[in-house]
Structure 1
Amino acid sequence: MKFDHEVLIIGGGPAGLSAALALGRMGRSALLCDDNRPRNIASSHLNNFPTRDGIHPAEWRKLVRKDLEKYNTIHFFEGTVLSVENSGAGFIAKLSSEKVLNFKKVILAYGVIDKFLEVPGYKELWGKSIFHCPYCHGFEVRGSKIGLIGNGEMLFHMLPLIYDLASDLVVLTNGKAEFKEEQKELLQRKKIRLIEEKISGFKYEEEKLNSVLFENGEELNREALYSLPSFPFQLKSQIGENLGCEKDQFGFYKVADRGKTNIEGVFACGDNVSPAHSVLLAAASGGMAGAGVVHELLNEKLRE
């Protein structure tokens, strides 16, 4: 079977770009497909990345693309991968350009879609005054009046991080709290106010949050909010599922070392394999998946 490229990389974010870098360094041919839907498109900066702390996400991606230019085995497609089928000898992918191409391996690096609270202003403030990660955005709002939106057991995994950031912390469950008695007692002991009213909207000016509005007419002054994700996560594509890749209870692909899925020849990396979401960790995951693919390709070449 004739292959157009050795590897298909689906997703042009930190994971996909890092996978491409690993492949390029080892002389493997790959097509990186990017439909230009970066998860951090709303953010004006990315943080916690050595040498690039505070850089604009688009500028970071531009710099990585520049790094990849010297590797003539790495190619780009600006568009969507519509489908991928297992051909037995490899994979057949149909692109939004109507091209049909053949590959030996596939790397799923397309990440997740954030689910927004369906109230006015939430989407507009996302990545600006409403955040998902204190490592990514906590330093900039330290000492602020902060609200933590979430409910159930998972809230108490995030609580210690936000508690130490805030000068005044309020937990917003957006409905009846689903906490154990000892969890409620912890909130009371630490003087963390609990509001169980439904959120109806926000008051804000451009990117700056002023207050949270509730259905009962009350208003809570806040300067920043953190919002827990709702599980399972929604992935940006169903290509992995269609190929038969297994997922866990949180919606992530199950992977072994170096990002290998249960489907032979298919690897996954970045935000679609772990709840630890940041540019740095996604890039590391992509590098490992790229290395895993290189290892398989060169082992196969040696045994031809």
Structure 2
Amino acid sequence: MPTSACDYIDEKFEKELQGLPPVAALPPLEKRPVFWLGKGRFAKGVKFDHLYVKNETGVWLRYKDERKEDLFLQKDMPGRYYGYDEIDRSPDEMWVRRELKYYEYGIYDISLFENEAKIFSQTAYIATRQFIGFFNLHSMRGTSFAAPQGTEENLNAIRGLQIPLDGFPKNPNEPWLVRPDKLEARGYGGDKIAKKLARNTFEIKGEGWRQTVRVNSLAKDTKVVCGDKICLALAFDESKVNSCNNGAASTTIYTLNLKQKFRDFYMLPSKNFKYAKIIDKFTLDDVKSFEIILSKFRDLGGLDKGSEYIDYEVILRNGEGEQVNEICRNQTQKVGNRTQ
């Protein structure tokens, strides 16, 4: 575990933060659901595991860990709840790393509401030191502290207010898909088009359950295709240009495990998913089915240049069985036939 003995410390900077006037303590409050009111995707000042968000459709569940969707919980707001808001006034990240030589430094104006009424606010300064305990080519997170005095206690107290709503998933962090080296990954496919409720909102059907999922993408269009085990969410974003595809728009692909309700979409850790794109003469409307297979590839760049490995490959097909996607080969090279 990192300790301050292994961290870079700027004594003048830290002394200035610790010298700020102490803040008032958050009064004792009963636990209630906490809703996210901020403009960004998720809170940074308070380290919530999850937050609720509300729109015209109803109440949604949102996680902090880079998941790409919101999970629908219920139509109506609870009678009593808290709202959490923060204004991020943090300095530029590159300046923090280069000039301050700290891993992170955030400044957040945080506010807590009881239903619509503001009941608490303060400015929180949160610094994370740079770990320098041993030689490493990459910056590493060290120990953290919050200022002014009393801030850490307030942040923890606000985080501790959060409680689950009815229907909250019991085990949301179970494994979502087997890794590429597992034989069970072979044979994933599907041709069921999920019901689209809005541009990025879909109804997913499992065994004995239904789940409404909102894919958080700025893509102009999205589509979800399902099989018996997983669904693929295809996000077609013309603003995202993939340099190895000659300026063509790329398609981001997420997977959803259908083992149980409240599973989540994830990008597979695969270059071949990241660099897949729709062939110019096709559109997402042409996609009618998918197949995920294991294939052997050779790395064309980086520290592992020339090495061979087994990885996922996604094949999207139209109604006639034609493949409608291609994979950029500036990053990888296909080696032989697909693995059997």
Common topology (TM > 0.5) = no
TM-score bucket of the superposed structures, by smaller chain: under 0.3
| Larger helix share, 1 or 2 | 1
When the two structures are superposed, what TM-score results if normalisation uses the length of structure 2?
0.25
Higher share in strand: 2
Higher CA-based Rg: 2
Of structures 1 and 2, the one scoring higher in RCO (CA 8 A, sep 6+) is 1
Scaled by the length of structure 1, what TM-score is found?
Answer: 0.28
